[in-house]
Chains A and B, each alone.
Chain A
Amino acid sequence: MAHAPDPTSLAPHLDAAWVDDFVVRLRLRDVPGDRIGDALAEVDAHCADSGETALEAFGDPTGYADSLDLPSEPDEAGVRRTLVGSGLQIAGLLLAPQAVGTLATGGRLPITAGAVTTLAVTLAVLAAVATWHDQLLRHVLARPWPWSIGAGLLASASVLPMLLWESPVADVDPWVGIIAAVALLAAGVVVQARALGAGDPVLLPGAERPAPRVDAVVWMMPAAAVVLSAFAWFVAR
């Protein structure tokens, strides 16, 4: 979580890279944040006492994380809510500039086959991520570059139908489109903020759980929708 303290600052006697690998490994095993903090604080205390590095005393961080055999508590509902929030916001983001552009030029807002296809592909990808997020994350962490390039290509490819396939399947009043876009974006922000706000930060023993806060990332797509809609308005005029 963006507002949680950085785990490396929680363990001042340890090498930051070791801490990162240890925390990521336990996160992947769905170990709750307070259990991760407890294990980390114990390693930190041991190294502070013995003067050893974490690597000397505990060996490889992933191996040590696995050997602790800590209980896993996957937050499936939280992951799904985050992705549903993203889905709603993407739909709003696709709709808003089109509706605003149509309002500027006058006439009715065409719902094209390409836009419907792009939305369907995006929702399918999100559903796949929601289902296989755990395995996916392991692969992405193992090979970040090929996966980032792949994700970029997929995102670009998914917009192509909307740009190229313009046959209308229906048309609506542009105001209906604008209201729907605002409603989708607002619902997406609320759903996502709730899912992210709960969070599960790495907590040291005895530390207070920070109050839930709205993560700035939930405003990213509404902000993009405003910018793209303004652009569409000026281009159309």
Chain B
Amino acid sequence: MSENAWPAEWLRGVLEPCVLRVLADGPTYGYAIAERLADLGLGRLKGGTLYPLLGRMESSGYVTVEWRAGAGGPGRKFYELTEAGRTALADATARWEQFTTTTRSILAPAADRPDPTPEVL
């Protein structure tokens, strides 16, 4: 398994914060978001996963959308982060940090655990 093929059930949880984070760098369109996340090591997202998520983010008011004409090709739908989206990103980032700290400490070998483990009989 390559480092880019993460289990789908892991991605489901972290995908929205990651997409919000890409959009925090500026308005962009679906395929560019997928490319960016692939470059960052998250793996290649399917359109069938990405666009329903973008649609839900639009319904939640995290992004606004605008169609911009393409050069020769079809136009592209650009997504831009709203204030509500920035707040959601900050919130998700803080929560995700806590979550990964917790899971890392659970998964760490016994010798590396910061807290003393209960005695095992």
| A and B from one complex | yes
Spell out A's residues near B (CB within 8 Å).
12-13, 38-39, 41-50, 52, 57-59, 63-64, 67-70, 205-206
Query: Which residues of B, 24-62, contact A by the 8 Å Cβ criterion?
Result: 29-31, 34, 46-48, 51-52, 55-56
Instruction: Report the minimum CB–CB distance from B104 to chain A (whole Å).
Output: 32
Q: Looking at the complex, which one of B48, B56, B70 makes contact with A58 (CB distance below 8 Å)?
A: B48
Q: Looking at the complex, which one of A45, A50, A59 makes contact with B77 (CB distance below 8 Å)?
A: A45
B10 partner residues in chain A, CB cutoff 8 A: none
- 7 nearest A-B residue pairs (beta carbon): A57-B47, A205-B67, A49-B31, A58-B48, A67-B52, A45-B74, A59-B48
Q: Decide: A58 and B46 in contact? CB cutoff 8 A.
A: yes
Residue of A nearest to B69 (CB): A206
B76 partner residues in chain A, CB cutoff 8 A: 45
Q: Decide: B52 and A45 in contact? CB cutoff 8 A.
A: no
- Bound together, the chains give a CA A46 to CA B76 distance in angstroms of 9
Q: Does B114 contact A (CB under 8 A)?
A: no
Instruction: Report the minimum CB–CB distance from B12 to chain A (whole Å).
Output: 13
B31 partner residues in chain A, CB cutoff 8 A: 45-46, 49-50
Q: Decide: B46 and A57 in contact? CB cutoff 8 A.
A: yes
Instruction: Report the minimum CB–CB distance from A203 to chain B (whole Å).
Output: 12
Q: Looking at the complex, which one of B56, B67, B74 makes contact with A48 (CB distance below 8 Å)?
A: B74
Instruction: Report the minimum CB–CB distance from B100 to chain A (whole Å).
Output: 28
Spell out B's residues near A (CB within 8 Å).
29-31, 34, 46-48, 51-52, 55-56, 67, 70, 73-77
Task: A45-B70, A49-B31 given; name 13 further pairs at CB < 8 Å.
Answer: A13-B74, A41-B77, A44-B74, A46-B30, A46-B51, A49-B73, A50-B34, A50-B47, A58-B47, A64-B52, A67-B52, A68-B51, A205-B77
A43 partner residues in chain B, CB cutoff 8 A: 47, 51
Q: Decide: B75 and A46 in contact? CB cutoff 8 A.
A: no
Q: Decide: A45 and B73 in contact? CB cutoff 8 A.
A: yes
Q: Decide: A38 and B52 in contact? CB cutoff 8 A.
A: no
Instruction: Report the minimum CB–CB distance from B71 to chain A (whole Å).
Output: 12
- Bound together, the chains give a CA A48 to CA B47 distance in angstroms of 12
A63 partner residues in chain B, CB cutoff 8 A: 48
What are 19 A-B pairs with beta-carbon distances under 8 A? A13-B74, A38-B77, A39-B51, A41-B67, A41-B74, A41-B77, A42-B30, A45-B31, A45-B70, A45-B73, A45-B74, A45-B75, A45-B76, A46-B51, A50-B47, A57-B48, A59-B48, A63-B48, A205-B67
Residue of A nearest to B31 (CB): A49
Instruction: Report the minimum CB–CB distance from B35 to chain A (whole Å).
Output: 8
B47 partner residues in chain A, CB cutoff 8 A: 43, 46-47, 50, 52, 57-58
Instruction: Report the minimum CB–CB distance from B80 to chain A (whole Å).
Output: 15
Instruction: Report the minimum CB–CB distance from A63 to chain B (whole Å).
Output: 8
Q: Decide: A205 and B75 in contact? CB cutoff 8 A.
A: yes
A64 partner residues in chain B, CB cutoff 8 A: 48, 52
